[in-house]
Amino acid sequence: MTVMTPLRDELNAGSLAGLPAHVQRPGYDRSAVKTGIVHLGIGAFHRAHQAAYTDDVLASGDLRWGIVGASLRRGDTRDALAPQNGLYTVAIRSGEGEDLRVIGSIGDVLVAPEGPDRLLAQMTAPSVAIVSLTVTEKGYCHDPATGELDEKHPDIVHDLAHPDQPRSAIGFLAAAILRRRMHGLPPFTVLSCDNLPSNGRTVHRILKRFAELVSPDFGAYVASEIACPDTMVDRIVPATTEEDRDRIRSELGVADAWPIMTEPFSQWVIEDNFPSGRPAWEKFGATLVEDVAPYEAMKLRLLNGSHSSLAYLGYLAGHQTVADAIRDPGIGAFVPALMNDAATTLQLPPGADVEGYKSSLIERFRNTALKHRTWQIAMDGSQKLPQRLLGTIRDLLAAGRPIDRPVLGVAAWMRYVAGTDEAGNPIDLRDPLAADLRQLADEAGLVADRLAPALFSVRAIFGTDLAEDSRFRDAVISALARIIEHGASAAAASAAAA
């Protein structure tokens, strides 16, 4: 028997006014909001971050910047949000408790594979000035080691052959840019909000190459007319659990199919390059700058480099969450030491307090209210290692400094790829290169001087320089041998003390 949930039992436009008083909610007239932004990859991170800043802009009375979201793969976000009129809760969690805020900046959610034309029509709407993206590292269809378009990527091959039925974010951007140009509309700004180095420059380079493959003239148009500002985005957003859904339901008094869990901290640094206009995000905490690079390197190398190391070391040692992993004595001693080494490679942003930044990261990792799974962060290592750890290693090598600590993170990833944790439990490896990695690891076995060289051969991760550098190779092999022999926690403790 199917029981229809009565309307008043879910979060939606009708139930908004009846929410408990402590729940913050959109006070503006949502029916008057225009669509100024199309967002590709409407996952939890976007909903906790850019959508929240944009909700503040709308609440200030500038109603030009409503968001239409798109999922490029699955329909689950649309299925959750459509019955809720796009509304959802952001739960801001810390040791002090939980603050709830309902966000209203997202209108429609489209599912690209169900109707590429609808999404292209939306991206071609005259009111749209920005197309933003959180499609994760692998969504750029590029070679992570070089940052260039992967011209052999199946989605890219498909999108070049079928330009009106794209699958990839790059294909959608290109098709929509072409259509706007044909209709004489000003181009939109492409705003990458993914954890890639120089994310704006990277998406510009990839998009330009794709456009060149369509025609030299289109390549030249993208090169000169499409602005792709760099951004640094930061907010920790663990995946929502059933327990979270139940708790939010009882706090709201109505069900929210997909509430978002996050931390109090939020940071957004944006290169101020929006020829077609932008929301005044700076009034609500974003920092608009000329050069994002130093902010981004500091965040990728200190936060994300530590995060990935915590994820692999922690997972192997049996820790489910970051908060547990950072409390492991070996790993807990290792992470600040790793940050110290990584910090020596940075050109700091103006006025940066790097000591304060490092200790605030440790505090954030220790937030037990978050339940951020090490397994979640461990995903897609092939796409993450280059900018999180390998860039640091290259710079340390060039400066003649020790590389053992960031190398331990790389070795832990190799041990993780081998497929079982230290208790012998199988690991559910998620990575676009999973099949190749698994095969290489299986052939090599859990033997450091076989496993590490097998994985060095993956040029999309290590490039040729590191793969052939004996200082790097030797350091990884001995770190991996220590992890295999003594365990991740003990290996971390000795790397911290070295």
Q: Which of the residues 286 through 305 are near ligand CS2 (CB under 6 A)?
A: 303-304
| The two structure tokens encoding residue 7 | 């309307």
Least separation, in Å, of the C-beta of 315 and ligand CS2?
Answer: 13
Cα distance between residue 460 and residue 469, in whole Å: 16
User: Does 371 sit near ligand CS2 (CB under 6 A)?
Assistant: no
Number of residues this chain uses to bind ligand CS2 (CB under 6 A): 10
User: Does 377 sit near ligand CS2 (CB under 6 A)?
Assistant: yes
Q: Could you tell me which stretch among 206-214, 233-241, 288-296, 338-346 binds ligand CS2 (CB under 6 A)?
A: 233-241
User: 236, 323, 454, 488: which one contacts ligand CS2 (CB under 6 A)?
Assistant: 236
Q: Which residue in the block uniquely carries the two structure tokens 């340390």?
A: 396
Helix (H, G, I), strand (E, B) or coil at 181: helix
Task: Show the site string, 407-426: x = touches ligand CS2 by CB under 6 A, - = not.
Answer: --------------------
User: 132, 168, 189, 195: which one contacts ligand CS2 (CB under 6 A)?
Assistant: 195
Residue 51 in contact with residue 258, Cβ under 8 Å? Answer: no
Q: Nearest Cα to 364, choosing from 258, 238, 260?
A: 238
User: 307, 371, 394, 482: which one contacts ligand CS2 (CB under 6 A)?
Assistant: 307
Residue 214 in contact with residue 163, Cβ under 8 Å? Answer: yes
User: 235, 278, 415, 473: which one contacts ligand CS2 (CB under 6 A)?
Assistant: 235
Q: Between residues 345 and 387, which has the closer beta carbon with respect to ligand CS2? A: 387
Q: Between residues 129 and 269, which has the closer beta carbon with respect to ligand CS2? A: 269
Q: Between residues 278 and 364, which has the closer beta carbon with respect to ligand CS2? A: 364
Cα distance between residue 107 and residue 34, in whole Å: 9
Give CA angle at 147 (173, 47), nearest 5°: 50
Least separation, in Å, of the C-beta of 45 and ligand CS2?
Answer: 7
Q: Between residues 365 and 472, which has the closer beta carbon with respect to ligand CS2? A: 365
What is the side-by-side order of every strand in the sheet holding 260-262?
Answer: 97-103, 88-94, 260-262
End-to-end CA distance of the chain: 64
User: Does 309 sit near ligand CS2 (CB under 6 A)?
Assistant: no
Q: Nearest Cα to 314, choosing from 380, 381, 375, 392?
A: 375
Q: Nearest Cα to 430, choosing from 203, 192, 239, 205?
A: 239
> Interface residues with ligand CS2 (CB under 6 A)?
195, 234-236, 303-304, 307, 376-377, 384
